[in-house]
Structure 1
Amino acid sequence: MTQAEASAALAALQQNPLLGTLPRSHLLRLSEGCSIQDHAFGDYIVRQGEPADALYLLVSGRARALRSDANGRELALGRLLPGESFGESALVEDGVRQASVRASTSTQTLRLPRSYVVELAQQWPEFAQSLAELDKRRTLQAFLNAHSEFQRLAPGTLQRLLDLLEPIQQAAGTLIVRQGDPPGAMYILQTGKARAYRMDGATREQLAYYRPGDCFGELSLLDEAPRAATVEAVGDCTLLALAPAAVDQLRSADPAFEQLLQRRQALHRSAQLARVPLDFANELLPADARSSATDPDSLSVLASPEAASGQARRIRRFPFIAQIDEMDCGATALAMVCRHFGRRVSLSHVRDLCHTGTDGTSLRGLVAAATELGLAARALKVSAQHLPQMPLPAICHVEGNHWLVVYR
């Protein structure tokens, strides 16, 4: 490697969100083992199933991560831009590639072989310790990227978040937060399950069930109010706690973190509005959709004025956007709704906002993405007979795994 290439390798390692946390002396030694590789459009940089024997950093160009299913069909996982890396697990463990990466343009990558890293760790105990810390950080970052909304954050903010999170173990049956307590830490559930409930006298009202990736406790901080509910560990749990001072620090440092919390607050309030009495449990409607003796299923609050008067304007144009692959139906439906309202948003951008993966996207992902795109979105369960009274277009979930747009 030439001196210029060595300098470029060091700069790339320093800019990498994960490796950049290592001491400079360690990065200098790592850069000595790197090689620079060029790839033409369409070339596979790595292939699924091959030994994971190196870390790659994208220096220039663009690439796409793909995974093949049992039938050989390729599923798009996401795109890679300059400065991003893949294959970090190869530095700390043996294994095979779980996905392929293919060049979308002419690209240049920096390759750091596992064999060099292992040899360096054996010769240098301080580096071995740094590598162990790096593995813990990589595991935590991978968890946040895969299971939580915090993957939206900028790399720098995500790194600060990783520094501030405190792992906590809780046994089954432990009360993690108690109703009425003053505001405290917010939590991300890493492993295990938990449930939230509220006591009204002697009556217990179940509010929510939490799984890995879910977070709770932020609302009392935002509202500056006592805890509104109790959260109990259903099984043994690992939690990532973020103290109030840490939350304030991140809110001040990055507007995106503040927006994320505000978005969660808005979604929570929207969910509260959607609560209905038990005798309406078969069809979930907003709590403010009042019933009357003559029209018990009224949706007048949701319906547009034209629909309420029976003079709804007929939608005559139906913007169409083709899916990239079969997992794109949710993101594509949202992109078409954006086109209907005159917002020409690229499908790739909508895919990113929805966090589209190998199993598509979720209802929560669609609502959050729509909100970020400037649309007023809510999640409701509505029967076909009430659709004429709903504001259209709407995105519907049908047959368990399909999203489609209803225009009229």
Structure 2
Amino acid sequence: MINALKDKNAWIAVFLILAVWASVLVILQPRVTSDTLTYDQAMEVLKTGVAPDGFIPNRILTTYLGMQTILLLAAGDGDMRAAWVVMNSVFFFLTCFFFYKIILELYGKRNVAVAGMFLLATNYALIRNASDYVMDVGGWAFYIMALYFSLRYMKTDDFRYGLYAAVAVGIGAFFKEYAFLGFIALACVIIYQRRDAIGRAIKEIMLAGIVSFAPILLFYVAIYFQYHYSYLSWFAYAHESSKSYYGSYALKIAEYVKTFGSLYTFGWFLFLGGLYFLVRQKNALLEKSSMMYLVFVGISALPVFAWPFITQRLSFPIIPFVIIISCLVFVKYEKKLLYFAPLLIVYAVTNYAMDDYVLRFVNIDSFLKLVL
């Protein structure tokens, strides 16, 4: 990171990240959601050691270090809400900056990396959920870090970067389970890098797996013995709850259309363009290893479709892959990158206005009922 900050474009990226985040806190402002209240209850249990009747420890199971970080920052008479904002601010910065590094490492063009980072930094799911009193951005940050270190491992063939990725997964799992997705990308990279040495691939995957999963699995065992509750309990509860929410496959399809439409809005035009260049000119724009990395990032995001509920927040891990593909348009037209400024501005403004205007006044449900 220190070396990255020596170049002008990295400072532009840092300035953009900070400017976007400041505007998010002013325009959107943090919200207390229904999830916030469950985190509050879990933090009270962690602080006092007393669990009320009917307490469900799912938040302790999935976001233990996030809640402990807030309690640490708010130690004494500190403001827990302010501590929450501080923690999420750090994770927002890390998410965006490491994504800038991914684009730069992948395409080697600093202005393209800045543009790609801007697409992520102003994405609706990120700015809304990083500013709310929820924990998701912590898992996203470590997922992005794991993707970055996996790419570095692929580019340098230095397994130390693979271990850094595993550490990111191992720590991130205590903040939110999105971090687990990073291990999928890492495992794919290891298999690709060691495709001519299967024994070495198995050893590296096993070592990375121990670093990634041993701490969290021991923690899960401890939680089970204390509360008789596991991640399977949490998933089963979510699965049963979703049955009453999505009454038919048509409703589920409609929810996917709404979710993904609002998840990337005008950015989908860039994605389609990037997909076109990926199919027609991939050899001119990408090395083979970079092409494989794109595949691995896409594979790593697929488990989001296994979760019973469909929301922008839960689907966010798809976005890094989508933006990386979109950036192929910027690579193709690098010298005319400023021409895309109006589209980027419209994209950002739409995301800022999503809650108050777009979702409120655009009746997608009625249209989908006619179609489906």
Structure scoring higher RCO (CA < 8 A, sep ≥ 6) equals 2
Q: Structure 2-normalised TM-score?
A: 0.24
Q: Structure 1-normalised TM-score?
A: 0.22
Rg larger for: 1
**Greater helix content:** 2
